[in-house]
Amino acid sequence: MKTMQAYRFALDLTPSQERAVLAHAGAARVAHNWALARVKAVMDQRAAERSYGVADADLTPAVGWSLPALRKAWNAAKGDVAPWWAECSKEAFNTGLDALARALKNWADSRAGKRAGRPVGFPRFKSRRRTRPSVRFTTGAIRVEADRKHVMLPRLGRLKTHESTRKLTRRVDAGAARILSATVRRDGGRWYVSFTCEVQRADRVPTHPFSTVGVDVGVTHLAVLSTGELVPNPRHLDTAGRRMRRLARRMSRRVGPDRRTGQRPSNRWERARRQMTRAHARVANLRRDGLHKLTTRLARQYGTVVVEDLNVAGMLRNRRLARRIADAGFAELRRQLAYKTEWNGGRLVVADRWYPSSKTCSGCGAVKTKLALSERTYTCTTCGLVLDRDLNAARNLAALAAEVDTAGSGPVAGRGANRKTRHGGPVAAKRQPGTAPAGKAGTAPPQGRAA
């Protein structure tokens, strides 16, 4: 199967190479801000003319928002706007214009109701200090060197990597990967290069292709599997909390920037900021590494993985649990499972957001009307089943996979709770009883294989 895959490698840049990369990132920012100012000026002019009663036919002509239109306008004005444009690659300016074209399209689609999710705001100007430096190359000499320690990029030349590039080099040499673009970006105080490739992956089959596992994510345990396995929550942010608080105090005692007076930050403040940035980056890397190991193991072992469609944005409004929920990375876990199950020949079933997995008894199928978050043990009043709350939810998710077809990803009609929320609180509807007799563990066997 052909798929899009990215390979990211850390770079060890010399001071001159870092200045060159920063110059390219600055060129992208200049092109983005110039094009945004041009589009915004025309929009404000047309809005003012409409307020004066000017007919639509007599308004100032609108400017195009597509990437070709923005690129054409930039090429006509770059001599006056950026006389130094020849010092940077054309891909640097294309990076800023492409980002603006995507942002304007997302904003327009969101206003027209063509884009799902939260409303997208109008693009903003990029700041030199607050914007993360980044530049993307799509044409020119883009390759990984044969020594597996260097990469070649247009105008930047030969850059040394901090780690070996053998994973990508082997695929390129075998003809199983084709590099489409390369992005150089600074993240957490380090420079990285990411290669977007078209990869030809071999067809794989999970270790247990006919097995099903339900995954219930949480804060106490990162994941509870229907097999009974408890994946501990490492809580990397809490572990590093003491050091991060100390670094935050150190930075607050330095002379930082002040936009009102134009005060520049001191060197000691910049040093403390870099230490704080590296601490946050380490927490993010540890979290990402743990999630990758967990999702890879699940995708390679089970043929069907069932997860919930959680309202993470709504859960983050709980100020008592927001930090621990954000530290767990629920959305990232589901995102990784989505493509890893496809790579390994399995499937991912996403339970409906309103499916009462925690309120439903995995033994008899009875649904409770209310279940407080503090109740960590599920006790069924119908069949007398006593089970851990998260394990009960995971077994209900595993049993749900038997009721959806291969094309669908939601529960069968009539099994979930009432989607209409009344003033008195959520109302649950009792589903049809399960196949397991009273007193048994549930409809899903302990090994995770669905009936």
- Any idea which residues carry the catalytic annotation? 216, 308, 390
Eight-class DSSP state of 154: T
Which of the 8 DSSP states describes residue 121?
Answer: P
Beta strands in 138-267 (DSSP E): 143-144, 150-153, 157-161, 177-187, 190-200, 208-217, 221-225, 230-232
Q: Which residues face 8 on adjacent strands? A: 194
Element (H, E) at 306: strand 302-308
* CB contact burial 38-50 (16+ within 10 A = b; e otherwise): bbeeeeeebeeee
- Measured CA to CA, the distance from residue 133 to residue 126 in angstroms comes to 10
238's tokens = 């809490």
Which helix (DSSP H) or strand (DSSP E) does residue 31 occupy? helix 15-51
**Residue 85 contacts residue 155 (beta carbons within 8 Å):** no
**Contact yes or no for 91/136 (Cβ under 8 A):** yes
Q: Which long-range contacts (CB under 8 A, 24 or more apart) does 76-83 make?
A: 77/34, 81/30, 81/34, 82/27, 82/30, 82/31
Looking only at the bridges linking them, the beta strands covering 221-225 and 230-232 are antiparallel
Q: Using CA atoms, how far apart are residues 264 and 303, in angstroms rounded to an integer?
A: 57
Pairing mode of beta strands 190-200, 143-144: unpaired
DSSP annotation of 209 reads E
d(CA 23, CA 7): 24
Token digits for 123?
């693009």
